[in-house]
Structure 1
Amino acid sequence: MKNNLVNAILSVALVLISISSFAQRGQLGTPEERATRQTTRMKEALNLSAEQETSVADINLKYAKQMQSLLETGGRNLKTARTAKSSMKSKDNELKEVLTKDQFNKYLTLKEDMMSQMKELRQQRQ
């Protein structure tokens, strides 16, 4: 259990560090641009209906704005990592209400793959 918590915190920290390093280089764009890119990827990967797309876009924008605020004010510390993890869990819960069971499972798989790719990129830079 303790290892799972440590792994989760490290994963969130990795995401925050990656996001902040991209943000410093200006590659992430605004929260609106990030949310639009996320929604487009999800629409294609999950075959979202028009109604789902609207809901997913709203959720993505809400959490992109939260993450932007966190990046700007939170710094790189354990409290920020925990807040980001909590925010991502809330986003997943909201998406679970909008997506079908199959879509949500595919979303989780895609999310896990993305985390693995980010981790590999981070390791390559070191």
Structure 2
Amino acid sequence: MKKIISHLLIISAFVFVGLSVSAQMPSASERAMKQTNWMKSNLKLTDDQANKVQDVNLKYANKMDELHKSTATKQDKMTSMKSDEAAKDAELKAILNDSQYQTYLQKKEEMKKQMKEKMKEKKQAA
């Protein structure tokens, strides 16, 4: 169960890249735009790539909202999130060049590590 929660938080962290989490969750379109802007600056996207990446980010932000609202079990939600993450990565790989995609994967791993560290700190503080 802890592993599921950990994975859920890691994936969620990626979805909310660059967002300062507030009491009210931003809309899917706001989250997608912020993620696209982050990718523009960190991956040096062309205008054409940015438009395509925005579409992908919006598609998966909407899927995340649907999943969040669903009544599926935590395990089913986690399975769907992993599947969606893999599908999103595949779509992004088709848009990005090799260097951009490798940078994307590296940044994604860095964020996962940061989230794990934050969770560990919270756990120790509790």
TM-score, length of structure 2 as denominator length = 0.80
1:62-97 Cα shifts (integer Å, max 9, x gaps)? 000001111121566111101000000000000000
- Equivalent AA in structure 2 for residue 25 of structure 1: A
- Equivalent AA in structure 2 for residue 88 of structure 1: E
Alignment partner of 2:95 out of 98, 101, 105:
98
Q: Which residue of structure 1 aligns with residue 8 of structure 2?
A: 13
| Offset at residue 117 of structure 1 (A) | 1.3
- Equivalent AA in structure 2 for residue 63 of structure 1: Y
Q: Which residue of structure 2 aligns with residue 45 of structure 1?
A: 42
- Mapped contact 1:31–1:64 kept (Cα < 8 A): yes
- Equivalent AA in structure 1 for residue 105 of structure 2: L
- Equivalent AA in structure 2 for residue 15 of structure 1: I
Are 1:67 and 2:64 an aligned pair? Answer: yes
- Equivalent AA in structure 2 for residue 13 of structure 1: L
Gaps of 5+ in 2: none
Alpha-carbon distance between aligned partners in 2 of 1:83 and 1:72, rounded to the nearest angstrom: 13
Alpha-carbon distance between aligned partners in 2 of 1:16 and 1:102, rounded to the nearest angstrom: 22
Alpha-carbon distance between aligned partners in 1 of 2:105 and 2:21, rounded to the nearest angstrom: 24
- Equivalent AA in structure 2 for residue 77 of structure 1: K
Q: Which has the higher helix share?
A: 1
TM-score, length of structure 1 as denominator length = 0.80
Are 1:25 and 2:20 an aligned pair? Answer: no
- Equivalent AA in structure 2 for residue 120 of structure 1: E
Alpha-carbon distance between aligned partners in 2 of 1:96 and 1:34, rounded to the nearest angstrom: 20
RMSD: 2.5
SS at the partner of 1:106?
Answer: helix
| Offset at residue 13 of structure 1 (A) | 2.5
